[in-house]
Structure 1
């Protein structure tokens, strides 16, 4: 197992931000400046074309750290952020841009490419979780959650299906094609986001993926709007969801920070 190596550290507004690597995979860990010993951990997955410190990631992390006292970590997906692209990555991205320019459906390309990324990323998330739990301030016994939308769902569903240490998860906005079978293996509490007017993912496709989860407790959050118009208040709900299932004080869950 690769050990975790911290490469940079900064602190502001009650949050410590530490860059790290696990093997050659770069990530970032946000923690409370105080009172975070053995606090719950939430792993997050970023969206396609983004990276570990995208404003959506840092904003959600800030809410979980300051509002609930959690630790939050994200790693760059293969071919994203600080990680080089392979020839396969470049070919798939070029094909996506070609289809977009031609007005052709993007879904088949995204589904195929995200499935490829998940095959590479799931072992990396497993290794990262193991390395993070070796840190004294996190430990191996605390609850762990996962939060990932879009590509974060494509990676997160097979990761959560393979990882019994995850006890609650937030997913959403992806096609069911290669994920429904993995979703059937997941029984933990789930919150799922769906955009009713998504121009890429049909309502039936979104509902099919939600329906596939075997969880006895699963909540579907449907909002009007297109693919990139997920309301910011869904972050409020996700923070409350994790506070309820992982512990923490949940303070700040009603704040609107715009992520």
Structure 2
């Protein structure tokens, strides 16, 4: 892992890093020393590691909760190169949506394609970050909505070091088997009037999660209208399950 820049503002240090070909960013409380829980934060489709919503949420988690928070550019997003195979998968998604088909199956194909690369990358980043003094080998959590959920469910299922997750804004297409292996506490967010993910699809994914400690928060509004108080709910959720 190689750090390429350090900036500080509002009580939070922000470090850009690369791990091999993976570009990422780490937020910690300013001058943080000693171990602390680490939150891995996945971004949505078409976004990147420093998308405004990701950065704002990460900074709040660091400043108010004392967490370390990391985000990386998902494969074929942000600073990552795009391959011909990615463009082919994307073309299938767009053609299906233009034809009025259920987008769930096409999204599942896209997310499965990305997850094959993203899951081992996240696990490698987690290993590298836990070597840092300001992170240490304590508990880790994951936050991801929409595509961040599509990549997060298989990650949480595969990674025993992740002890809690905030997921949502996605249906069960292609995720049922992985969801059945998620046994950690989960806070699941659902937008009641989601214009991209039918309500029953989101509820099906929530039902598929094996976690006995799962909680559903449903709010009115569309796919991109998660109310701000849910950031505070997620902060308190991680504090309960990761920080004691």
Contiguous gaps of at least 5 residues in structure 1? 249-259
Q: Give distance in 2, aligned partners of 1:174 and 1:85.
A: 24
Q: Which residue of 1 aligns with 2:145?
A: 149
Q: Secondary structure at the match of 2:235?
A: helix
**Deviation by residue 1:181-204 (Cα, 9 ceiling, x = unmatched):** 111111111000111122232222
**Deviation by residue 1:37-72 (Cα, 9 ceiling, x = unmatched):** 201110010000000000111001111000011100
Q: Give distance in 2, aligned partners of 1:186 and 1:109.
A: 23
Residue 47 of structure 1 contacts residue 151 of structure 1 at CA under 8 Å; is this kept in 2? yes
Contiguous gaps of at least 5 residues in structure 2? none
Q: Give distance in 1, aligned partners of 2:195 and 2:164.
A: 28
Q: Give distance in 2, aligned partners of 1:135 and 1:228.
A: 34
Q: Secondary structure at the match of 1:37?
A: coil
Q: 1:94 Cα shift?
A: 3.2
Matched, 1:134 2:122: no
Q: Give distance in 1, aligned partners of 2:43 and 2:196.
A: 18
Q: 1:10 Cα shift?
A: 1.1
Q: Secondary structure at the match of 1:137?
A: coil
Q: 1:91 Cα shift?
A: 2.2
Residue 13 of structure 2 contacts residue 31 of structure 2 at CA under 8 Å; is this kept in 1? no
Give TM-score scaled by structure 2 length. 0.95
Q: Which residue of 1 aligns with 2:222?
A: 226
Q: 1:104 Cα shift?
A: 4.2
Q: Which has the higher contact order (CA 8 A, sep 6+)?
A: 1
Give TM-score scaled by structure 1 length. 0.90
Kindly report which structure 2 residues correspond to 1:112-123, keeping only aligned pairs within 5 A, or say none: 112-123=109-120
In the alignment, which of 74, 77, 95 is matched to residue 74 of structure 2? 77
RMSD of Structure 2 on Structure 1 (CA):
1.5
Q: Secondary structure at the match of 2:23?
A: strand
Matched, 1:106 2:103: yes
Q: Give distance in 2, aligned partners of 1:36 and 1:225.
A: 40
Q: Which residue of 2 aligns with 1:28?
A: 25
Residue 29 of structure 2 contacts residue 62 of structure 2 at CA under 8 Å; is this kept in 1? yes
Q: Aligned pair count?
A: 244
Q: Give distance in 1, aligned partners of 2:105 and 2:225.
A: 21
Q: Give distance in 2, aligned partners of 1:105 and 1:178.
A: 13
Residue 36 of structure 1 contacts residue 70 of structure 1 at CA under 8 Å; is this kept in 2? no
Residue 192 of structure 2 contacts residue 199 of structure 2 at CA under 8 Å; is this kept in 1? yes
Q: Give distance in 2, aligned partners of 1:59 and 1:227.
A: 18
Q: Which residue of 2 aligns with 1:61?
A: 58
Q: Give distance in 2, aligned partners of 1:14 and 1:111.
A: 39
